[in-house]
Amino acid sequence: MSDDNRILAEDVTYAYEEADKNAVNHLSLEIREGEFVAVLGHNGSGKSTFAKLLNALYLPSSGRVLVYGMDTADDEQLWNIRQKAGMIFQNPDNQIVATVVREDVAFGLENLGVEHDEMVRRIDEALESVHMTKYAEKEPHMLSGGQKQRIAIAGVLAMEPSCLIADEATAMLDPKGRKKVLDTVRRLNKEKGITVVWITHYMEEVTEADRVVVVSDGETAMIGTPREVFSKVEKMRELHLDVPRMTALAQDLREDGLPLRDDILTVEEMAEEVARLLCP
């Protein structure tokens, strides 16, 4: 695959000043166009640092990061990189800069000097994409946390990125808000082909990802499909990570002698498997 169609981290290391070890340590990863890649890791594992390296918020101490063929170390490409790979942060309040929703979504476009008619088109499409059109004239501070996060996503979408990098984007939301934000991002991935890098500590959020990357001590500890990764329950627990609830339940039942398969992820799959055993 051409470098112009992917994000590529090559032997990337990053160390914070005065830290006694690398936050990211010789990490290599290819993220292909249109993928939904989930990144998991315990607190301090390096997953958020890695996200910021992909968006050129941090530059590698060694190695390199290529974003659609552009080296993040190239100052002249900085805005092009951030336009191609938009970042969504944990706290939406940190991304909202205007007093009206429509003006907030317009902020990045104004900085790029986008013409008025084109700006209006992009704002309308972005708000429609996150189902927030009816809030266009509202004050952001009057919205719920989940609504604010969807406005933050709209602001990134208006830049017409190829990739969304979400760094714990649902961490501050209640379950309902988390579901709406995740559903929005999944839909954008499937319908518009936008590449997604989803950093999270909620295991259930990644069951439908194309790939899961588990980071520990700044290194890739596991890479695979959700079924491949979560079937290794003991390995995940060694890395101080949980697994989806149904996966954990299946593991407990297997230990009690029930012959369930080891790659169950959802309630529906658990129900099907139990039904199979009861009605062979």
* pLDDT one-digit tens code per residue, 213-231: 999 999 999 999 999 999 9
Residues 79-97: b if buried by 16+ CB within 10 A, e if exposed: eebbbbbbbbbbebeebbe
Give the alpha-carbon dihedral of 266, 271, 274, 279, to 10 degrees. -150
Query: Within a domain: residue 176?
Result: yes
Tokens encoding 140 = 């952001």
Label the pairing between strands 36-40 and 195-199.
parallel
The number of angstroms, rounded, from the C-alpha of 109 to the middle of its chain's C-alpha atoms is 23
* 215, 45 contact by CB (below 8 A): yes
Query: Within a domain: residue 206?
Result: yes
Query: Within a domain: residue 219?
Result: yes
Query: Within a domain: residue 232?
Result: no
Distance CA 184, CA 204 (A): 16
- Considering its fold, how many domains does the chain have in total? 1
Task: Give me the residues of the chain with pLDDT under 70, please.
Answer: 1-3, 280
Q: What is the CATH number of the domain that holds 214?
A: 3.40.50.300
Of 83, 55, 89, 63, residue with least CA distance to 199: 89
pLDDT in the model for residue 139: 94
Tokens encoding 100 = 């009206």
The sign of the CA dihedral 280, 263, 200, 66 is negative
Distance CA 205, CA 180 (A): 11
Query: Within a domain: residue 112?
Result: yes
Query: Within a domain: residue 273?
Result: no
* pLDDT one-digit tens code per residue, 14-52: 999 888 899 999 999 999 999 999 999 998 899 999 999
pLDDT in the model for residue 1: 55
SS3 state of residue 64: strand
Distance CA 258, CA 266 (A): 17
Distance CA 214, CA 141 (A): 35
Structural domain that includes position 146: 3-226
Residue with tokens 């697994």: 243
Residue 139 CB partners (closer than 8 Å, separation 6+): 99, 100, 101
Of 171, 149, 231, residue with least CA distance to 47: 171
Give the alpha-carbon dihedral of 43, 44, 47, 48, to 10 degrees. 90
Query: Within a domain: residue 161?
Result: yes
Question: What is the amino acid identity at position 52?
Answer: K
SS3 state of residue 135: helix
Query: Within a domain: residue 72?
Result: yes
* 65, 53 contact by CB (below 8 A): yes
SS3 state of residue 153: helix
Tokens encoding 177 = 């808000």
